[in-house]
A and B are shown apart, each in its own frame.
Chain A
């Protein structure tokens, strides 16, 4: 809201500002949205002068239209895609987490959401050498698990100590529903507004600072008994991409399987409901077998 002050545009002097304020017109929005004729009569100002002032204010304060080509160029140069480290998950996410967007990972208890978040954090900080901010609301963040995953990447303690270091490229919130769902429903009416406020802050942060936001959510049962992400329909518009994680129920005797299946339930880039199965232990598998730098083939010229 921009408050009217004298000198903002030619013709807007102190007396006029005072008269407008007496008529309860204090901001530019009020001027633009009110009826000029009626305003001219109430403030005893000429209609033409008020009309000219309104036109100048509109020109000064409206948003610029941007051409689609410029927007595309800007997006190309500023958006980065962060791989999650797991090829199946990357395939679902159209090659990774996009900066400037919110991606949501939902699943039941024990489905592996926190483990995926740990794996993504370790991958981004070790392989991509960027910093990650991890906001933990459940108390489930344990440094020993992160260390375990990092030790599977490299056994060199110096390399382990020097991860990250670049600018912050990802913000992981685990989980956003743990703090918001107690506020929703019932007699409290602040819950919904707080949820949308948090969503707004996350979105502006992702866009302004060019970071990828990954949030986790719990699940509830819909009327027909299927699993659906929590926090309701209002929250479902906030993330750009949503993935549902489930345990893979096989008839095999081994019940401690680490296989999970991820379903894409909302995406603006890929067809929905494609499913991928992946192993939760992917991020902590031993990497010794695949070590060794690739040498560039030096072909003799001549």
Chain B
């Protein structure tokens, strides 16, 4: 942001240039008396300077709440299943960080892959008409499963016309990145991902998983540095999400919950998402996927029953839906057309 673009007295602009305040934002980070001392301007001049800088940096003026609903903030990314979309009231919100946690084998990666495909549909079918970035930190990216999901899109998304599905090359628009440590992850997030977002090639960012890098690289005594790294990582995610109006999905692991009374050992069956309070404070929507004991059958396929629950979200009530993982993807169960077979 250049100083010339501001509507200010040239004397003020000249004195600002003399102190080498390169961009307008820097002037806002310095307090009023400091600016006075640096530039030698009077208090009213500094006040004019700060007002002009603030107006220039502000993206848009405050909107009355009445207009909010029709604007950009109501954008949601559909999951691809009507039952799960109903749980999430439309899908993932576009302006914040959503976390999906669960035990291994619960189906988190399946849901993330399904989202990478559903983002590519146009807006009237719940997508965002763009691609997805998938950052793997744990295992290799499951390419074969993605291919299987692509082949099954026609039977999963019956609401979309078949011509649209067959004409789209899904795998061209999923960008995969493997990050083995925190440094490569931060390089990816600060350089490559903003480039893809700015050129509008992608409109979804998936990190699978957050916990892997932060749990493995720090010892117990390094908790302070881990917290700082975690906060700066989530700050980067937030900035990207809000600046480009993109949903961000972070997959997290779980830890056992130890009971607070004297019995040693974890509370049976109780797990909590990993990374503690520091990470939980940064997350806007927290979803949990659990594996249940029953199986469910449909046609020639059978799957173990899962449950997707909303732990907290500012726009959702705490609720859950049963779901199962089929060949074509993750589908929520309504009680109508599925038979539950007995306990495993």
Contact = CB atoms under 8 A, between A and B. Distances in A.
Interface string B225-256: 00010011001001001100000000000000
B29 A190 contact: yes
A248 interface: no
A185 interface: yes
Interface string A73-116: 00000000000000000000000000000000000111000110
B315 A138 contact: no
A139 B95 contact: yes
Interface string A243-266: 000000000000110000000000
Contacts of A114: 314
Interface in A106-149: 108-110, 114-115, 133-134, 138-147
Contact of B284 (A1, A139, A197): A139
Interface residues of A, number: 37
B315 A145 contact: yes
B96 A139 contact: yes
Nearest to A145: B315
A161 B284 CA distance: 28
Interface in B264-303: 277-278, 280-284, 286
B231 A182 contact: yes
A109 B286 contact: yes
Given A109-B312, A114-B314, A147-B69, A140 B31 contact: no
B65 A144 contact: no
A295 interface: no
A139 B76 CA distance: 13
Nearest to A122: B65
Interface stretch (A13-21, A47-55, A59-67, A216-224): A216-224
A140 to B, nearest CB: 4
Chain A CB within 10 A, most for which of B96, B312, B314: B314
Interface string B54-78: 0000000010011011000110000
B286 A110 contact: yes
B319 interface: yes
A147 B64 CA distance: 13
B74 A142 contact: yes
A181 interface: yes
A236 interface: no
Given A142-B74, A147-B69, A256-B319, A109 B283 contact: yes
A1 B241 contact: no
Contacts of A144: 69, 74, 89, 315
Given A146-B65, A182-B235, A190-B29, A140 B280 contact: no
Contacts of A182: 231-232, 235
Contacts of A218: 281
Contacts of B281: 108-109, 177, 218-219, 230
A68 interface: no
A179 to B, nearest CB: 9
- Binding site secondary structure of chain A: mixed
B95 A181 contact: no
Contacts of B43: 1
Contacts of A147: 69
A143 B31 contact: no
Contacts of B327: none
Contact of B314 (A145, A181, A186, A230): A145
A185 B74 CA distance: 35
Nearest to B285: A140
B196 interface: no
A194 interface: yes
B314 A143 contact: no
A193 interface: yes
B36 interface: yes
B65 A140 contact: no
Given A138-B96, A142-B314, A143-B74, A185 B280 contact: no
Interface of A: 1, 3, 108-110, 114-115, 133-134, 138-147, 161, 177-178, 181-182, 185-186, 190, 193-194, 197, 218-221, 230, 255-256
Given A139-B93, A219-B281, A255-B318, 12 more contacts: A1-B33, A109-B283, A109-B312, A134-B65, A138-B284, A140-B284, A142-B315, A143-B68, A143-B74, A144-B89, A194-B29, A218-B281
Question: Which 7 residue pairs of A and B lie closest in terms of their CB atoms, listed nearest first?
Answer: A110-B312, A140-B314, A143-B68, A139-B96, A142-B315, A143-B69, A139-B95
9 contacts: A109-B277, A109-B286, A139-B95, A141-B73, A143-B68, A178-B238, A182-B232, A185-B228, A256-B319
